[in-house]
Amino acid sequence: MKSSKHASLKERDIRHVKIEDVSTLYSIYEFQEEIGHGSFGIVVSVVEKQTNENYAIKIVNKHSTGYTSLSKIYREIKILKTVQHPNIVYLYKVFESTKKIYMVMERCRDNLLNVFQDKKPFPEKRTKKIIRQLTNAVYYLHKHAIVHRDIKMENILLARNPENPKDDYFIKLSDFGLSVIKTGSFIQGMMHDRCGTMLYMAPEILLERTYSELCDVWSIGVILYTLMCGKYPFYDKNEMKLINLICNESPDYSLAELTPDAVDLLKCTLVKDPVQRSTTLEILKHPWLMEHKLKSRKDETIIDYMKKWKNEMLLPGQESDWMRVSRSDYSMVTGLSLIDKDTLTLKSEASHSPV
């Protein structure tokens, strides 16, 4: 097996302290209101007594979380201990008792979805700013063999920009519970398990095919479309029909006054065939985002690397084998026909609502 050619990251010196109970934290922090919750537990706003600095503590109940979810938390901690990027949420400390895990993280004011719902759609300039930051963060992850796998607006937080206090759209990518660190190059580094949030999931994941970090690029495309058009590119309350839309239909690009460059970038990211999909570096070099260029010679090496990887995925002909899905394969996954789109059987309701 080939070894990974990605740049490796060293774990930062993050304190991981064993404690008896929460009383240790009460002596260090002043606990305030709950600012988030989920299947893992809750997130609480705190102030460090000695410095008066604001933080957020993610509290995980180890006994009620379950083994699978707990393993995701430990995986998230491992990744957050290694990454360091201005657009990725920062982990400061970890406290752990026999019953709970406490992750001390930077305090962010809100998530992108909440803000977007009040101000949708976003103007192009604001969208461009957000997508540039998001793509830079994901480019950094991919360069270091990390695939996020759950990029969505709820996991994009709005934080204080240390260089510009008036910046209301300085973002932080968060929630690395589904993320993986690739251990191989090219085909050896492919993933197989189906995970993520369906509205943002790439076709190859929904079709239960092997997939790569390019699944994150699809999610970036979904967010780009949603921010500018005010709705998801693919949506249906029925889960099976939603899968059919994602795998077979094209978004409506007439819903907003999209510039030709914006439409072109959307078509580069929302490509059904992942082999034809742009990489994060290619997105950053796209005319729509060219105000800030990456000029490092290493970047050209990454482009060559990605092109080599893409070429390995292609079989003779114009179409990737990934998207040569037979009618029986598709029906097995979705219960839907690739041909008869007018007689789709509605089987289950999706848990999501339109933006």
Average pLDDT over every residue of 69-87: 94
For this structure, is 236 an active site residue?
no
Q: Are 351 and 242 in contact (CB under 8 A)?
A: no
At CA 251, angle to CA 203 and CA 148, rounded to 5?
A: 40
pLDDT tier at 288, thresholds 50, 70, 90: very high
**What letter represents residue 121's amino acid?**
P
Domains of the chain: 15-106 (3.30.200.20), 110-341 (1.10.510.10)
For residue 39, the SS3 value is: coil
58 carries a ligand binding annotation? yes
Placement of tokens 């990744």 in the chain? 79
pTM of the model: 0.82
What span, in angstroms and rounded, lies between the C-alpha atoms of 153 and 148? 13
What span, in angstroms and rounded, lies between the C-alpha atoms of 76 and 98? 19
β-strand pairing of 146-147 with 54-61: unpaired
Q: Are 46 and 32 in contact (CB under 8 A)?
A: yes
Separation in Å, CA 89 to CA 15, 47, 81, 118? 17, 18, 11, 23
Lowest mean pLDDT across 93-97, 162-166, 182-186, 196-200: 182-186
What Rg, from alpha-carbon coordinates, does the chain have? Answer: 21
Which residue in 110, 118, 150, 304 is the catalytic one? 150
Residues ≥6 apart with Cβ < 8 Å to 316: none
pLDDT tens, 289-324? 986 554 444 444 445 545 554 554 454 444 455 445
